[in-house]
Amino acid sequence: MHQSSGRWRLGLALSLLTVFLWGILPIALKVVLQKLDVYTVIWFRFLISFVLLAVYLGIRGQLPKLRQLNANSGKLLAIATLMLAANYFFFMHGLALTSPANAEVIIQLATLLLGFGGLIVFQERYNLQQWLGVSVLTLGYILFFRAQLTNLITPSNTYIFGSALVVLGAVVWAIYALAQKQLLQSLSSANIMLVIYGGCALLFTPFAQIEKILTLSSFHLMILLFCGLNTLIAYGSFAESLEHWEASRVSAVLALAPIFTLISVEVTSLIAPNLIPPERLTILGLCGACLVVAGSVAIALKKSQ
């Protein structure tokens, strides 16, 4: 099994960068989905990430070589590619039916599943403080969801269906992340992501309506480019963080992403109220979000033994 390098400060920094980028991403995606369909947006994000990463690795002479792969690595790469493609599919469809903050909070189930996967698959360990953190984190989710279900800005059936899709996205993402961590035994994080980006781009090519991209305004085209760059940098940071820190600790930090989303939605709705409607959070919902933060900190900031 893959063992972390022990450079937990670097792992924490990379995890926080990932949190920030993933926190603001749902807002950009919600905007670009006003003009493009889900499949075209997903295809573009994977393609631009693949091309830029391939150019970077090519210049540095670090492109992956087939001899680096064994039979197990090939299977894990296939699993990781299919699971990440499924994650994008479910999350994007769910986001289209809910709000950015709702989708970002629900997708955090993935980080909880990744943490438990790290405990089971990689024999990582939680101490008492961290298990208390898990309990607080779980309570925070319950309070947040309860508040949202009684204060919806979309029809309840639409919200529930969209939420169910995001939950499915969380499950497949956790499988992807565990496969990604194990692949670090045979490939660098950049090489892994290059193969996954290329594979996912190929999977969505038959469904993409590429000609629609040419009709975008300069504003929506810039947002689409940002989504592509966000994918490249955020997943690169996430993959590298797994090299230096335990999956359970990384997953705890990633649970902070909804807080960045909530802040970003409020700022965006103040600056451009016609672009993104403000979230209608109650006191109960805010309390739930605070508990999510507290639980995440309790899990993540306990130094590795």
pLDDT in the model for residue 176: 92
Q: CB within 8 A of 124, min separation 6: which ones?
A: 118, 246, 247, 248
pLDDT in the model for residue 5: 64
* Dihedrals phi, psi of 304, to nearest 5 degrees: -60, 145
Q: How far apart are CA 29 and CA 111, in angstroms?
A: 20
Spacing of C-alpha 263 from chain mean position? 17
Do 148 and 285 touch, CB atoms closer than 8 A?
A: yes
pLDDT in the model for residue 266: 83
pLDDT in the model for residue 153: 52
Q: How far apart are CA 303 and CA 6, in angstroms?
A: 10
SS (H, E, C) the chain: CCCCCCCHHHHHHHHHHHHHHHHHHHHHHHHHCCCCCHHHHHHHHHHHHHHHHHHHHHHCCCCCCHHHCCHHHHHHHHHHHHHHHHHHHHHHHHHHHCCHHHHHHHHCHHHHHHHHHHHHHCCCCCCHHHHHHHHHHHHHHHHHHHHHHCCCCCCHHHHHHHHHHHHHHHHHHHHHHHHHHHHCCCCCHHHHHHHHHHHHHHHHHHHCCHHHHHHCCHHHHHHHHHHHHHHHHHHHHHHHHHHHCCHHHHHHHHCCHHHHHHHHHHHHHHHCCCCCCCCCCCHHHHHHHHHHHHHHHHHHCCCCC
* Dihedrals phi, psi of 3, to nearest 5 degrees: -115, 135
- Residue 78's CB is within 10 A of a number of other CB atoms, namely 14
Angle at 247 between CA 42 and CA 301, to 5 degrees: 115
The whole-model pTM stands at 0.81
pLDDT in the model for residue 305: 43
- Residue 273's CB is within 10 A of a number of other CB atoms, namely 10
pLDDT in the model for residue 3: 57
pLDDT in the model for residue 203: 96
- Residue 22's CB is within 10 A of a number of other CB atoms, namely 24
Q: How far apart are CA 198 and CA 43, in angstroms?
A: 10
Spacing of C-alpha 164 from chain mean position? 16
Q: How far apart are CA 165 and CA 161, in angstroms?
A: 6
pLDDT tens column, 4-18: 666 778 888 998 999
- Residue 125's CB is within 10 A of a number of other CB atoms, namely 12
pLDDT along the chain (305 residues), means of 10: 68 89 90 93 95 93 75 86 95 88 80 78 77 86 75 65 91 90 83 92 95 93 94 86 77 78 84 76 81 76 51
* Dihedrals phi, psi of 33, to nearest 5 degrees: -70, -10
pLDDT tens column, 81-98: 999 999 999 999 999 888
